Amino acid sequence: MAAASSSLVDCFSRSYREAREKFLAAASRCNLAVASEINPAGLGVDGEPLATDAVEVGPSSAESVLVLTSGTHGVEGFCGSACQIALLRDDILRRRLDECGVAVLLVHALNPWGFSHSARTNEDGIDLNRNFLDFPVEASGPDGYAVLHPLLVPDHWPPSDANEAELQRRLDAGGLPMRQAMVGGQGSHPDGLFYSGAGPSWSNRTIRALLRRHGTHRKRLAWIDLHSGLGPSGHGEKIFGSTMWGPEATARALAWYGRDLVRSSSPRSVTPHTQGYIGMSAPRECPQAEYTFMTLEFGTVPFDEATRALRGEIWLRSHPDAASDLRQSIRTAVRRSFYVEEDFWKGQVLGQFRSVALQAVHGLSTLA
Ligand SMILES: [Zn+2]
């Protein structure tokens, strides 16, 4: 069994390039056809092409499909990619798909630029999980984010003690609404955090096309979008947007995933309410399907540490001439905030992922 545990850890990769190679090799071993979309933003940090790769596993005639996406937030692909590779290498789980009559669409590295460059945002500084809006979006009045922007992205990095103290003071004084304004998505500052963009990004268009290709002929569609960064280290929080999807879908998700499903409207959720998140796209592209969307978020480091890393990432975009050691330290901080390179964490991730994937497959199955 020692070989089994080391091969599980081997599902994780040290770079986007390695992750893609492992994903393609695992798909090839299963004789799966891969559809690759090349991102036109250029090459990755290792000179590699940047691509989103998709494969469908399970019976092609299935009336139900489970969509599994990784790397919506670039660097978080280290976590999600490993889950997908583990599924492809898991002969028992894949046999279960045939037994249950469920297909699985694996979409690897939806934001390959961010994955390769250790960034949460994409090639245009967009937070992909805020980009699924009806463009153009009219500004609805003063933007709460604008107040915080100069403090979040100061002129110099690392920020001064005075900057940190003032930011903390503003956040404390503003309470939950101010934190919501900070992270919920904003369209006013392209050089800021959680920027929603001014139109559909390349990744947005890519996932929509994949949904049409694999979802429009299905009766049921479930989607698990894999993330890392929020919550206690190694804990996989099952997040469900109950206010968005209504009571029927909420009851269905609770029946599938269990009582530890966390509604995003709940104060105990690790995630804030966000505008334009990726799950909004499926009902538009596959309106015929009964739809169940969930975010699976694996915890890494404390929230403030992750936020500081993101501030550095965004600062770096406006300072391309930053010294190479500063640039490297910012990239490293982002990577460490969204990917815990310890075997124990990796084991927690894959164990919980397998359980949740099976819950979704059984939920989608029409078998009694
Ligand atoms: Zn994320």
- List pLDDT tens digits, range 217-253: 999 999 999 999 989 999 999 999 877 788 999 999 9
Per-residue pLDDT averaged across 311-335, rounded?
96
What integer pLDDT is reported at residue 272 of this predicted model?
66
Report how far ligand 1's centroid is from the alpha carbon of 127 (Å): 9
- List pLDDT tens digits, range 244-296: 788 999 999 999 999 999 987 776 665 667 889 999 999 999 999 999 999 99
| pLDDT higher than threshold 60 for residue 1 | no
Report how far ligand 1's centroid is from the alpha carbon of 367 (Å): 33
Looking at per-residue confidence, does 269 or 364 come out higher? Answer: 364
Report how far ligand 1's centroid is from the alpha carbon of 366 (Å): 31
Q: How confident is the model at residue 7 (pLDDT cuts 50, 70, 90)?
A: confident
Amino acid identity for residue 85 in this structure: I
Give the separation between CA 289 and CA 344, rounded to whole angstroms. Answer: 38
Q: How confident is the model at residue 347 (pLDDT cuts 50, 70, 90)?
A: very high
Report how far ligand 1's centroid is from the alpha carbon of 147 (Å): 24
What integer pLDDT is reported at residue 2 of this predicted model?
43
Q: How confident is the model at residue 140 (pLDDT cuts 50, 70, 90)?
A: low
Sign of torsion, CA 334 337 341 347? negative
Report how far ligand 1's centroid is from the alpha carbon of 296 (Å): 9
Report how far ligand 1's centroid is from the alpha carbon of 183 (Å): 12
| pLDDT higher than threshold 60 for residue 362 | yes
Give the separation between CA 341 and CA 335, rounded to whole angstroms. Answer: 10
Q: How confident is the model at residue 3 (pLDDT cuts 50, 70, 90)?
A: very low
- List pLDDT tens digits, range 70-91: 999 999 999 999 999 999 999 9
pTM to 2 decimals?
0.95
Report how far ligand 1's centroid is from the alpha carbon of 228 (Å): 6
Task: State what percent of residues in the chain have pLDDT above 90.
Answer: 86
Report how far ligand 1's centroid is from the alpha carbon of 2 (Å): 32
Report how far ligand 1's centroid is from the alpha carbon of 260 (Å): 20
Q: How confident is the model at residue 120 (pLDDT cuts 50, 70, 90)?
A: very high
Report how far ligand 1's centroid is from the alpha carbon of 236 (Å): 12
| pLDDT higher than threshold 60 for residue 13 | yes
Burial grade of 135 (CB within 10 A; 0-12, 13-18, 19 or more): middle
Average pLDDT taken over every residue of the chain:
93
Report how far ligand 1's centroid is from the alpha carbon of 61 (Å): 32
**Structural domain boundaries in the chain:** 2-137+185-364
Report how far ligand 1's centroid is from the alpha carbon of 230 (Å): 8
- List pLDDT tens digits, range 141-163: 567 899 999 999 999 999 999 99
Report how far ligand 1's centroid is from the alpha carbon of 201 (Å): 16
Report how far ligand 1's centroid is from the alpha carbon of 196 (Å): 14
What integer pLDDT is reported at residue 141 of this predicted model?
57
Q: What share of the chain is helix, strand, coil (3-state, %, to 5)?
A: 50, 20, 35
Give the separation between CA 43 and CA 166, rounded to whole angstroms. Answer: 39
Report how far ligand 1's centroid is from the alpha carbon of 33 (Å): 28
- DSSP three-state, residue 240: strand
- List pLDDT tens digits, range 86-119: 999 999 999 999 999 999 999 999 999 999 999 9
Give the separation between CA 26 and CA 90, rounded to whole angstroms. Answer: 10
Which residue, 275, 316, 271, is CA-closest to 125?
316
The sheet with strand 35-43 has its strands ordered as 35-43, 49-57, 102-108, 64-69, 220-233, 290-299, 236-240, 261-263
| Dihedral-angle region of residue 160 (phi above 0 means left; psi in -120 to 50 means alpha; beta otherwise) | beta
What integer pLDDT is reported at residue 22 of this predicted model?
98
Which residue, 265, 259, 129, is CA-closest to 197?
129
Q: Tell whether domain 2-137+185-364 is in CATH 3.40.630.
A: yes
Could you count the other beta carbons within 10 Å of the beta carbon of residue 1? 5
| pLDDT higher than threshold 70 for residue 363 | yes
Report how far ligand 1's centroid is from the alpha carbon of 229 (Å): 7
Report how far ligand 1's centroid is from the alpha carbon of 297 (Å): 7
Return the DSSP state at 129: G
Per-residue pLDDT averaged across 306-315, rounded?
96
What integer pLDDT is reported at residue 366 of this predicted model?
76
- List pLDDT tens digits, range 181-202: 899 999 999 999 999 999 999 9
Give the separation between CA 38 and CA 57, rounded to whole angstroms. Answer: 21
- List pLDDT tens digits, range 16-69: 999 999 999 999 999 999 999 999 999 999 999 999 999 999 999 999 999 999
Report how far ligand 1's centroid is from the alpha carbon of 121 (Å): 10
Q: How confident is the model at residue 4 (pLDDT cuts 50, 70, 90)?
A: very low
